[in-house]
Structure 1
Amino acid sequence: MHRSRVLILSSVVFLFFIPSTSSTNFTQCIADITGGLYDATPEALSGGRDNHGKVVPLHNATAITYDLCKRACGSGSESFTWTVFSAQFSAWLLPWLALVSQLPFGSQLRTDDVVSVFLTIGSPALAAYSLVLTVLNGQWVSRRLAGIAYPNVRMAWRVLSSLQQAALQIDDADGMLASLVVLPENDDWWEELAHGLDYTQTWSASAVSQITWVIIAYLFTVIDSFADVTNSVNSNGQGVGSAFLWLLPIVVGWLQVSPKSDFTRVCAAVDRANVKAFYASADPRHPVLASDVTEHRAFTLKSHEDHAARRDEEASAPIYNYARFLPWVANVELVVSVLRAAAERATAHEPVDPYVPWRAAAKGKPPVIVDENRRGSLDQVRRYVGAARGSRVGRVDPNFLMRFLIATALALFLQWGTVGGAVVAVWFTPTIGLGCRSGSYILYAAVGTAVWGTMVISSFLSFYATVAGQSALPSKQSPRPLPAALIAGRLSTFLRRAGKLLATLNAIWIVLSCIFQFSSFYDRCYCNSSVLGLGKNAYDVLTFLDSDVTAMKAAWIGSIVLALGTAALFEGKRNASHNVFRFTLNPPPACTGFIYLHVDPPPPAP
């Protein structure tokens, strides 16, 4: 969205949500208190405090109790100043909102892309979880196919890795998948699909400029805030910059991964490849085009209109990889089992057609399997990979749990590390303690975690409902209470919708919270006194001492180190676009981040 439009929209939202209350002039309020205007009031008798909350005479006080603040200054906020608001909003928040445009989209429905934005902002943990899973899955499928000496294994690795963003459905019925793996005529199918999915959506000039803008704006505003600490201390963006810092490694991480999230392009690649698919026939020497036999194919991108719980699998924006995790793993396991069964037969020099002797490759050539050894009738092809066909429905590799735990730990680490930096920055800004600003960040992180948990549980329930439904035998008895699969499916749908609603509200909340901070809405007695944390002992610091400024600077430095360190450890150091642009906001190679270490895994070794 254009910068001016974002600013206008934010201003409208600000004016709409700010209640029309009388503003407070804290400068005049302090003058009235020190001038003795309220000396005769009960609140003033014990209302004097130092900056650590200790009772002092009012004439020596640098802080006052919350009760005296309300009596003298009222409950309203400091008056809104457009120059402060526009400068802070443009410097601290606007660059991050603009960076959202660099997130990968590409879903068939625009609504899915819009929802993906709310899911990302509303739950950084969910965005990081899907990113880490995608990276780990790429490495896992390479290891899973390693050691399988059969044609097209590397093609299968490229295809399966690229289809993590698709609602992939692999059909092994009637020997379709077996024919794809075994028949030499289908080598073109694997090559066509791998080539069709071999495209990158990575470092563009727009992405580089947006990231550069964010980095420079962040650095300049941090330096500016340290240059004059006490100027608009309660409305500066120290916390805002850290609270949104998680977005930088998420965007850079997806640019490195380059997910195949263009729904139209992926569908076209699958359709083009399926035109070349061959199907084993009754004649061992003459397979036929699959299109001459059936409209079904081994690899399809399925629509789940009949299964509402699996709706998110169809949205190709990469954040929805959380929903495709287990179904994708099950599909990989099916392909791996067929390839491994065929490879074991080939290693034993068993041809597909048992009536044809095994033919060895010519001397001097690399170890290959000649085409004559891979041809056979439909029944022979199915028997050749018979061990794989015995795989139960929905089988997943048990190691998926380790990838899930790693992705969970890193996702929560990124969210709470960066948002935690924001909490530190405002927590240790006098009055020290839990207040409106720090509480808003904690609430944001907590709700973001709840969204992540809700969506992940929904995806697990959806997979269980699908597998249980496919495995269940039809019953001829009278209707009984709802089966577990149906209950799980309905609960999954409910949790998915609830999670999206919660993420939308949380995304709106964090933006509004930042606007409230820049507009001085939080600059009121209640918030400045940290009533949320101090309760009856709440007090409002009126005058900053040199020791307060020193401690505040130290806390701000700590918050920046915490947020930047978290983002750097998550992302790491990476060169982009053939060294055209070097992303430098990272630690040295010795502290390289997780994504950099795991992206671009090597192909499976034969």
Structure 2
Amino acid sequence: MLWVWSLAVVVAVPGAAQDIVGNGFAACKARIDSIVLDGKEWNGITNETMDQYRYFGPVKGMNPDFDRSKFITLTTEGCKIVCQDPIDWYWQTNIDLTFGIIANWILPVLALLAALPYDSLHKPPANAPLSESRVVKTLGFLNNWLGSPQTALTATFFNIHQMRKCLGETEPKGSGISARADLETTKRDAYYVLSCLGQFRLPSQDNFDFLNVLAYGLYRPFVSRDRMEPAEGCEQAKRYAEQLLHEMAFHLRMLRRRGVYPAFLNILMFCIAYAVSVVVAFATEGNRTTAHAMAFGILLSWLPLLVLFAIIDRNPVSADRCRKLFARWLFNVKAVRDWEEQFPAGAQQYLASAPGTRPAAPVWWTQRLDSETPFDQKFDRFIEGFVGQGRQTGYNGLAYAMLNEVYEGHDIHRRMRSTNTIADKTRDALRGRGPSSWYWLALVSLAIVWLEIGMATMISYNTPTVGLACRSGSYLLYGIFSIFPWALQWLPTFRPAVQKWRRRLSHVLCFIANLILFVIFFAAFSGVYNNCICKGGVSGYMDFEDTEFYRDKNHFDVSLWWTASAVLGALPMIGSLWCIMFSPGRLLSKLKPLWRASEHEDPPRDMSADTTWLI
């Protein structure tokens, strides 16, 4: 019943905890003082009849040693009659307050929203449905990011974790191929391509034909198709695969979104706004609005984290271009694999054959050949839209599954498996349960978002009138609806129809959460929460004192709650900035070798693989 009541208040009378701002309630306080203290009459209400509108019960959060009779409170119904049920709009009673909240919080939040990893707004294909337009898809992504930030953080954290694992596999260690430092550059190409491909929706990622070609393209430069190291097979096929892999990795790096420092500037603006709001809230002069503004900022303190980690887990400038390159690259990889199958004895058979009798080069991708190939035979069917950074709920762990199946054995005894075996093992891993690291990161994401929601709720709940009211209730409602999409991704899905149903339900739940967030946004700078219902909340009474009164330890000592909330709410931001920018193992610089590339790089001089697919 408590949540139903809170939702009804948010929808019917948007409001929150308890401010004394503006002429409406200021005039009401003067009116009550004149009736109670001076014995005057107003609209037939005298000191004798005033008691029916007053609240004489216990006051939550008040120091028990304080004289309760000196603290005048009205019931919610009494407020409607004596105060004439006003709404103190900030822009009518205190326009400076509206501009202050907009400058201090709304603008930094909008700057962070602008820094989110949107897709480029390219013109959609002709006759494309409205749902495929970039604007609609961008609104859908924004709906997911804001409607369930813990889901977006889960996807972003896990992909960064996969990138760290990929980078770790490129470092020389053990023996054999794993220990060869001269292969480090090629390994970086392979694992970077794998980490990028894992950010696309792969509806049939456990299809063996797809995995077989993918494993061949990634690991054929190191190992044979059907035998584990040290067997290498046809040298020319190995050279083809290595050149194709290098070009694929290079173009993916060039398509990687840049602009790191402007995004950091937006995060810095938010941090400054956070610090300013804390200082203002604890200033000697002011009102409860400053504390509620601080609560609003704490509520959204997960947003700079999402932007911050999206800087590391950057999306491509053009996801469509990357998708086309992946499909064409896999086409050529399959062509090389088919070409190599004509030499089952490997390099010796290739060299022993007469030049005139050797098969021609692989059948490379061309636009004409692509147009003549049925869609059900193209690799495009395996690669759909970009879903990285929480654009779509669910577990996307292709990179994690494959990189864990590359080697047989551990430490110095491990040897790289054949590409066919890698594909087979990866398929089994994808059909099994996800790794424990994904579940742990999902719980960490939930804890971060709910820490911020909890601290914002604690400020509004404990700022008199103490208790659940419109503002604290709307914070909790937002958190509850945002957690449902996060919980849905834990459910197992065995059929594509179930996945589609789950995505649609997640969109609806995120939309409801965003509606509540919009009400919170509007109330933050409008003052719509300044009404009798929201001042009284569930407690059913309201008062007229100011911040100085509440901060006095002899009365309420709200500073304790404000301080605890401000400190705890800042911990995720401080910890994340430390891990990324300043810690010894800082992510930003540690992962650079995986995605670093130069625009001045030239293709190899002995390039023998066809490059038509790059047009």
TM-score, normalisation: structure 1 = 0.69
Of residues 551, 557, 560 in structure 2, which corresponds to 1:554?
560
| Cα shift at 1:99 | 1.1
CA contact (8 A) 1:49 1:64 kept: no
Supply the distance in 2 between the matched residues of 1:384 and 1:431 (Cα, whole angstroms). 69
**Structure 1 equivalent of residue 138 of structure 2:** 113
Residues in 1 aligned to 2:522 and 2:504: alpha-carbon distance in whole angstroms:
27
Match of 1:253 in 2: 309
Match 1:163 to one of 189, 197, 201 = 197
1:101 is the counterpart of 2:95: no
Q: In structure 1, what residue type is equivalent to 2:537? A: S
Decide whether aligned partners of structure 1 residues 552 and 518 sit closer, same or farther in structure 2, where only a CA change above 3 A counts.
farther
> Is the CA contact (8 Å cut-off) linking 2:53 and 2:77 kept in structure 1?
no
Structure 1 173/290 Cα, relative in aligned 2: closer, same or farther at 3 Å?
Answer: farther
In structure 2, the CA distance between the partners of 1:598 and 1:324, relative to structure 1 (3 Å rule), is farther
Q: State yes or no: 1:149 paired with 2:222.
A: no
Query: Alpha-carbon deviation of 1:276?
Result: 5.3
Residues 427-438 of structure 1 mapped to structure 2, 5 A cutoff: 427-438=461-472
Distance between the aligned counterparts of 1:267 and 1:421, measured in 2?
Answer: 42
Preserved contact between residue 461 and residue 472 of structure 2 (Cα < 8 Å): yes
SS in 1 for 2:429: coil
Q: TM-score of the superposition, structure 2-length normalised? A: 0.68
2:503 pairs with one of 482, 492, 496: 496
Mapping of residues 272-291 of structure 1, within 5 Å: 273=329, 277=333, 278-279=336-337, 280-283=340-343, 284-285=349-350, 288-291=361-364
SS across alignment from 1:540: strand
Given candidates 213, 238, 241, the residue that maps to 1:186 is 241
Q: Which residue in 2 is equivalent to 1:527? A: 534
- For residue 33 of structure 1, what is the aligned residue in structure 2? 32
Matched, 1:64 2:74: yes
Aligned to 1:237: 293
Greater relative contact order (Cα 8 A, min sep 6): structure 1 or 2?
A: 2
Report Cα offsets for 1:265-306 as digits up to 9, x if no partner.
Answer: 423543664575423242452574143898689x986447xx
For residues 348-384 of structure 1, what are the alpha-carbon distances to aligned partners after superposition, in whole Å with 9 as ceiling and x for unaligned? 9xxxxxxxxxxxxxxxxxxxxxxxxxxxxxxxxxx97
Aligned match of 2:440: 406
Superposed, 1:287-326 pairs within 5 Å as 288-291=361-364, 302-303=380-381, 314-320=385-391, 322-323=393-394, 325-326=396-397
SS at match of 1:119: helix
CA distance in 1, matches of 2:138, 2:512: 17
User: Are 2:146 and 1:86 equivalent residues in the alignment?
Assistant: no
How far residue 325 of structure 1 moved from its aligned partner, in angstroms, is 0.9
* Cα pair 1:141 1:161 within 8 Å, conserved: yes
- Deviation track 1:502-561 (CA, whole Å, cap 9, x = no partner) reads 212312321322312432211122211232xx3xxx321212475522422332222111
SS of 2:253's partner is coil
Per-residue deviation at 1:188? 0.6
Distance, in Å, in 2 between the alignment partners of 1:395 and 1:192 is 29
| Corresponding residue to 2:52 among 41, 44, 51 | 44
Kept after mapping to 2: 8 A contact 1:104/1:317: no
Residue ranges of structure 1 left out of the alignment (5+ in a row) = 1-13, 305-309, 349-382, 466-488, 576-587
Asked if 2 retains the 8 angstrom alpha-carbon contact of 1:50 and 1:62, the reply is no
Q: 1:597 to 1:411 in 2, by over 3 A?
A: farther
Deviation at 1:259, TM superposition (A): 3.8
Say if 1:194 and 1:229 are closer, same or farther in 2 by CA, change over 3 A.
same
Distance in 1, Cα, partners of 2:515 & 2:246: 46
1:559-603 CA distance string (max 9 Å, x none): 11111113333453434xxxxxxxxxxxx749x99x679866989
> CA–CA distance in 1 between the matches of 2:434 and 2:323?
27
Contact 1:423 1:438 in 2 (8 A): yes
Higher mean C-alpha displacement, 265-274 vs 548-557: 265-274
Change in Cα spacing, 1:203 to 1:347, as seen in structure 2 (3 Å) is: closer
Q: Which amino acid aligns with 1:173?
A: D
Cα shift at 1:436? 1.0
Give the structure 2 partner of residue 367 of structure 1. Answer: none
1:126, 1:452 within 8 Å by CA — same for their partners in 2? Answer: yes
Q: What is the rounded CA distance, in whole Å, between the counterparts of 1:193 and 1:89 in structure 2?
A: 46
**Root mean square deviation of aligned Cα:** 4.3
Distance (whole Å) between structure 2 residues aligned to residue 597 and residue 403 of structure 1: 23
Describe the shift of the 1:300–1:127 C-alpha distance in structure 2 as closer, same or farther (beyond 3 A): farther
Residues 86 and 490 of structure 1: CA distance in aligned 2, closer, same or farther (over 3 Å): same
How far, CA to CA, are the matches of 2:430 and 2:145 in structure 1? 28
Aligned residue for 1:233, secondary structure, equals helix
Residues 426 and 438 of structure 1 are in contact (CA less than 8 Å); yes or no, is this contact kept in structure 2? yes
One-letter code of the match for 2:248?
A: L
The 8 Å contact of residues 193 and 272 in structure 1, kept in 2 or not, is answered as no
Change (3 A) 1:24 1:494: farther
Equivalent position amino acid for 2:48 in 1: A
Distance 2:500 2:331 in 1: 35
Correspondence for 2:159 among 118, 121, 134: 134
Between stretches 283-292 and 407-416, larger displacement belongs to 283-292
**1:539 aligned residue (534, 538, 541):** 541
Of 468, 474, 481, which aligns to 1:440?
474
Cα distance, 1:43 vs structure 2: 4.3
CA–CA distance in 1 between the matches of 2:30 and 2:245?
A: 79
Name the CA distance, whole Å, in 1 between partners of 2:302 and 2:389: 17
* Equivalent position SS for 2:289: coil
Shift of the 231–544 alpha-carbon distance from structure 1 to 2, 3 Å rule, reads: closer
Give 1:441 deviation, angstroms: 0.8
Q: Is the 8 A contact 1:106 1:262 kept in 2?
A: yes
Give matches, 1:346-495, under 5 Å: 387-388=421-422, 391=425, 393=427, 395-396=429-430, 400-457=434-491, 460-461=492-493, 464-465=494-495, 489-495=496-502
Instruction: Return the offset for 1:330.
Output: 5.0
The answer to whether the aligner puts 1:125 opposite 2:133 as a matched pair is no
Q: What's the secondary structure of 1:434's corresponding residue? A: coil
Aligned equivalent of 2:252? 197
Tell me which residue corresponds to 2:353: none
Change (3 A) 1:228 1:163: farther
Mapped contact 1:49–1:56 kept (Cα < 8 A): no
Residue 484 of structure 2 aligns to which amino acid in structure 1? A
SS in 2 for 1:64: strand
Structure 1's 158 and 387: CA in aligned 2 closer, same or farther, altered over 3 A?
closer
